[in-house]
Amino acid sequence: MNKKIWLILSLLCFFLLTGDFFYSHAEQAMKFRAEYWLKKNNTPMAMKYYEYAFELGLKNPASSDAYVNILLKDDIDSFKQEKLLKFLTYKTNDGAMVRAEDYLSDLKSEIRYKYYDNYIKNAPYNHKLLRWSTLPITYGFANDKNIPNYYEKEIENAFKTWEIETARRICFERTENTANVNILIKFNQNQPTSAENDGEKYVVAYTNPNLDGDMLTRMTMDFFVTDSEQQYFSPNQIYNTALHEICHAIGVMGHSDHSKDIMYMTLDPQITTNDLRAKLSKRDVNTVALLYKTKPDLTDKKNFPADYAQEIVIGGEKEITSAKIQEAKSYIRKAPNIPAGYIDLAEGLVAVKEYEKALKSLNKALKLSDNKEINGMIYYNFAIIYNLIKDYDNAKSYLDKSIAINETEQHHQLLAEIYTDSGNIPKAIKEYEYLITNNPSDIEYVIALANIYVREKKYMSARKVLKRFIENNPKEKENIRLAPYGIIKLGL
């Protein structure tokens, strides 16, 4: 008999005979390994095994104390803060848990004191925080011919204002090579759709993020060259709009409810009618400063340090959703002919499972939109909702429309979910294979595909998926996420 096969069979028999014993004592085994590494002063390994033990249900005050001591030692960045937040979910109910709670409470108070007035809770995009990872943030102009000379000058002035007002905590660099620029500024020769009131006529630009999965590849800022009456905008109107759109382009994707903020959903009518020059508020500056201290979900670089964990700054999913819905409703009241508010409202309604209301909101957004990229976003959101309510034909139809406008990894991920949920297993497998090929280190796609094979009782196929992942990512071999596969990954 092949030695490898014999070894696997032997291990399988051993596991079947002793598995219950080892499972019931696994948390103790992880605890002993954590203590071993702690004695060796290898704190990363000690933390890993303590976390495995807590996941398996360990309740041991000494272990909790040792783990929290590691986290509270030296600089406590967003990485350690996230681990403290996770530790609280283990509900160890001991002194270490109290110390973790006290530290996090003090940190929240410190943040409130430093950035006492801000609207950071309105910053997320699709419930995810977005920003650039490094400074300076680069920007460049495309198709800037046949426009008034002051358009480009006033946009540059707006970038300089952001630098000055933030004391260069946010800084920019113009580049002529726009191939890899962070913020691309384009000029749209079409006229914006006419609006019924002067406040809405003032919207002369829009900004969209370009994403590849969870990676931010670019922000595209589109300026209309003329208004709906084919008149050029004034220098102040270009400057004021640029101040607003730059804030979007650096990551504040929502709006403020305060009329003095540059991110107010419709700027002060006097600024529009009297052609006044806008200013940044303290709340604008605080919001951006805090954003660039906080760990984002969507960015252009993975695993970079940040001062604050996101949950500490903007709260959990419930708080984010509530803020999103209130902001969207306020936006719609003040700008009922702009699709953005209805899109944001639909996203908030989906989070609270108000699917029919969300569909109505998206239909309203689609009627108001005259922009292809925005249409693509709306179609994608339609696909999400229809998949959630198990209307798979409509989900696939709308996703196809969105893909036709802009195909991304997110589209393929949703397509895989639609095929899985609708029972089209061969196509779901094909989509996940595509995603894994393009993202060999993403454990989420691996788990999704392995689970499909397990449900189909194709255990060897599931094993192959796990084996390939572990071979490509050997450090993930003992990831707790893979623990449920037990016998399937035995010997890998």
Q: How far is the C-alpha of 60 from the C-alpha of 88, rounded, in Å? A: 14
pLDDT value of residue 335: 79
| HSE, side-chain direction, 13 A CA sphere, residue 33 | 17
pLDDT of 318 > 80? The answer is: no
| Average pLDDT for 347-374 | 91
Q: Which two tokens stand for residue 192?
A: 């914006």
Q: How far is the C-alpha of 320 from the C-alpha of 103, rounded, in Å? A: 23
DSSP state of 490: T
33-45 pLDDT, tens digit per residue, is 999 999 999 999 9
pLDDT of 15 > 50? The answer is: no
pLDDT value of residue 14: 47
Least confident span in 16-20, 288-292, 318-322: 16-20
322 versus 236: the higher-pLDDT residue is: 236
Using CA atoms, how far residue 256 sits from 42, 108, 294, in Å, is 46, 21, 19
pLDDT of 9 > 90? The answer is: no
The candidate with the shortest Cα–Cα distance to 336, out of 490, 439, 199, 145, is 199
What b/e string do you get for 219-250 counting C-beta neighbours within 10 Å, with b at 16 or more? bbbbbbbbbeeeeebebbbbbbbbbbbbbbbb
Mean pLDDT in the chain? 87
pLDDT value of residue 1: 52
